[in-house]
Each structure stands twice: as structure tokens, then as C-alpha cells.
Amino acid sequence: MKTFFLVSSRFHPFILGAVFLTSLCMFWPSSAAAHRVSVFAWIEGDTVYTRSKFSGGKRVKDGDVLVYDLNENHLLSGKTDELGEFSYKIPRKTGMKIVIKAGSGHRGEWSIPLHEVEGLSGPEATSIQPQEAASTTPGEAAALSRIDLDELRRVIEESVDSKLKPVLKILIDTQEAGPSFRDILGGIGYIFGLMGLAAYIHFRRKVSEAEKEKAGSSIHAK
Amino acid sequence: MHISEGVLSGPVLISGIVMAAAGTGIGLKKLNYDGIPRAAILSAAFFVSSLIHVPVGPSSVHLILNGLVGLILGWGAFPVILVALVLQAVFFQFGGITTLGVNTLIMGAPAVFCYFIFGRLAGKGPRLALPAAFACGALSVFFGAVMVGLALTFTEGNFLTVSYLVVIAQVPVMIIEGFITLFCVAFLKKVKPGMLPGHSL
């Protein structure tokens, strides 16, 4: 044991580092994400649903949700429930900024642009002329035009919403994937790069100081 | 313990930047460039430490390791922590860019403070050094939590309630980090005691 330490005495900082990083990696499977809070929001019908999570996956319980319009006017507030969710009916057709505050200085936000809100069905739905009217009998044409086109639009939206729900869930999950191994290697790479740069500058300074001393002492000798 | 963007007011952010810049300046002067690999490794450890979660009640907290960084590097903790925080902000979106000054101060100042209190003891025999190491690790986290409370007071008011909540949440981290610092100091005492501050102070 002693000889091992004596032999590797030159590399102690690196041994310390290796022990460190290995033990840190051992904790890896338990949680692999940095600590920030994020909120995800989507619209279904006339309601905005939000879900807030810490980046490790934990839901934000009893967090403060604040909704602003695009001019920073406060629209409404609420609290997240046990599942980190909070929903509200759209107050008016405007882009929205949703902010989650999870205490201790944690804050995240999500923006809903105006065009997402504008694209919803409403009384201003444009009327579409039924194109089959010319080829059908007068009785059927009347029945066709009696179909409420707004109703049709609403039905389509509902089915699109339900089809999109699993897709949105996939999106939320990928967004919360947390820092990848690549990010970590990148960060550590930068640290050692900076170390190399600092060591090089220090070395150059030492060399030039040594040269100055040599020049100084040789002048004295003369 | 990282404070996110948009939480603190302008004056708090600016004073954080100014104080952190001062600390970093002193740190760069006092950093031992001959031993720069150890600074880099500590920076990397600090960088990665925030990925290690400790679930506490409704939220979760993470390791910080500022006690160990302060004990080994002293004032050098400031630039080392600043570098790691910049990289955490850029790679993990953890903390923020405007809050870099405040966050560096929150984690660096307790590290240096505990270095001054416990540094001398780390060079003594194991009976003194190991408890000192534990205290250094634990108290660095404690003072960091207090500083978070202080920073948030200017925005959220009532220093005592805010600090109390933050400190309580950090208690498990304090204990874990106390032990981590203790084991590291024990290891260094056997292997390279020159790294510990008590020998040069």
C-alpha cells in the first residue's frame, strides 16, 4: 500500500480527481439532471393546461403560476396541484407568458405566441361554401347547408387535440431530458482547457522571469 | 442553490457582480499556479456535483462541494467556482448569466470564510483536522443557504422565513458534504498532506 502511494506520489492530484469523479459517477443512476424548474403549457379547446417540473422529473407542488400577456400585464395567478398541474380558461385572445416560481429563487417560463391562440375556433370562423351543392338534389343541398360549420370545426379541433396529446407528452419528456453526457464532457473539457491555458501562461511568465534574472546576474558578473 | 434568471432585482444583481469580481480578482492573484491541476479538478468536481440530487420533501436539492473547494484553494475558490458556474449556466441552463455574480458570491464567499476558520486546523492531527473538515463542509453549505436567503430578502421580503426554508432544505446536503470533506481530508492527510492549508498557513 505504502509503495503504491510513494510510486504514484507525483500524480496525487490526479488520483484525487479520479477517485472523485468515479464516486460522483457512481451516483449517476439515481438522478441525472441539473436543478432548474421548467413549465410546459399546451392548449386544448379553450383551456390552457400547464405542468411544472423540476428538471430531475419531480413535479412542482404548490408552486406559484403567474400568467402575463405579451405586454407584461398580469392576467391571472394560481397554484400548481399535487401533479404540478394548473389549468385556466383563456381570458382573451392574446399571446401569453406563463411563469412558474418554485421558491428558493427557482423560476421558469413558457411563452404561448399569439398565433397559437388565434388559431382556435371562435365565432369568427369563416364560412365555407359546400362544394357538392351543385351536384346534389335541392333537398340534400339544404340539409348540407344546415350543418353547423362551427360545429364541424369544433369536432375537428377536438379530435386533433386528442391525437396531439401523446405527441405533446413526448415533447415534454424530451425537453426535460436534462444535461446529456455530451454536455458534461463539454464542460469538463473547457475546464481542463482553461487549466492548460493558465498553466501555459504561468510557464511563459516563469521562463521570462528566469531569463530576466539570468540577464540581470550576468550584468552584475560583468 | 443556484438562483435563476429574473428572480432578483437589478441592484442586487449588480452588487453581486461587483463583489464576485473583487473576490475573483483576489483569487486569481492568490491562486497557486504551480498546483493548477488541483484547481481544475476541484472545478470539475464542483461542476458535476450539482447533478447529484438529494430529494428533500416537495423539492430536491443537490450537492455543492464549496466547502472542499474553499478548504483546499482558499481565495482561489472564487475563480474556480465562477468558471464552473459559467459552464453550468451555458451547458445545463442552470442558474443564469445575470445571476453569475450573485451565485459566485453565494457559493464562494462561504468557502473562503470557512477556509479562514478551519484552514489552520486541517493541518493538525486527525482528532482536530477531521471534525474541522466536517464542520468546514457543513458550514459552507449553511452559510451559502443564508446568503441565498439574504439575496432573496431584497425581492421576497422577510429574511427569517425565507432563510429558514432554504437552510432546512439544505440540512441533508450539509451532512453529506461534511462527510465528503472529512473523507477527502483524511485521504489527503495520508497521501499528500501538503495540499491541505494547515501546512502552509
Could you tell me which residues are beta bridge partners of residue A47?
A44, A89
CB contact under 8 A, A105 and B7: yes
Is this complex scored with an ipTM above 0.95? no
Task: With cut-offs at 50, 70 and 90, classify the pLDDT of residue A27.
Answer: very low
Single residue among A137, A159, A175 that ends a domain in this structure: A175
Task: Inspect the interface and report whether the beta carbons of B91 and A13 lie closer than 8 Å.
Answer: no
Which positions in chain A touch B100 (Cβ < 8 Å)? none
In the A/B pair of chains, how many CB contacts fall below 8 A? 159
pLDDT of A34? 38
Taking a C-beta distance cutoff of 8 angstroms, is the pair A116, A98 a contact?
Answer: no
Q: Look at residue A128 in the predicted model and tell me its pLDDT.
A: 43
A107 and A74 in a common domain = yes
Specify if A9 maps to a domain: no
Check whether residue A60 and residue A147 sit in a common domain: yes
Residue B140 has pLDDT above 80, yes or no: yes
Quick check: is A17 in a domain? Answer: no
Backbone angles phi, psi at B200, to 5 degrees: -105, -20
- A123 falls within a domain: yes
Q: Do A191 and B43 touch (CB under 8 A)?
A: yes
pLDDT for B162 equals: 82
B32-47 tens-digit pLDDT:
888 899 999 999 999 9
Residue-wise pLDDT tens digits, A143-170: 666 667 888 888 888 888 888 888 887 8
Binned at pLDDT 50, 70 and 90, residue A28 comes out as very low
Residues A171, A186, single domain; the answer is no
Q: Which of A64-78, A115-129, B48-62, B84-98 has the lowest mean pLDDT?
A: A115-129
Minimum CA–CA partner of B68 in chain A: A20
Q: Which of residues 43-72 of A touch B (CB under 8 A)?
A: 54, 56, 58, 60-62
What integer is the mean pLDDT of B97-117?
94
Any domain includes A153: yes
Q: Are residues A128 and A192 in the same domain?
A: no
Pairwise pLDDT comparison (B195 vs B36), residue with the higher score: B36
pLDDT in tens, A164-201: 888 887 887 777 667 788 889 999 999 999 999 999 99
Pick left, alpha or beta for residue B158 (phi over 0 → left; psi -120 to 50 → alpha; otherwise beta): left
Same domain, A96 and A187: no
Same domain as A187, residue A130: no
Q: How many CB atoms lie within 10 A of CB B171?
A: 16
- DSSP bridge pairs for A77: A66
Which CATH fold would you assign to the domain B10-196? Arp2/3 complex 21 kDa subunit ARPC3 (1.10.1760)
Question: Which residues in A lie closer than 8 A to residue B144 (C-beta atoms)?
Answer: none
Domain of A215 in residue numbering reads as 182-222
Average pLDDT over residues B44-73: 86
What one-letter code names the amino acid at B68? L
CB distance A198–B2 less than 8 Å? Answer: no
Is B58 near chain A, with CB under 8 Å?
yes
Q: How many structural domains compose chain A?
A: 2
Instruction: Look up the CATH number of the domain holding residue A161.
Output: 2.60.40.10
Q: Do A192 and B44 touch (CB under 8 A)?
A: yes
Domain ranges of chain B: 10-196
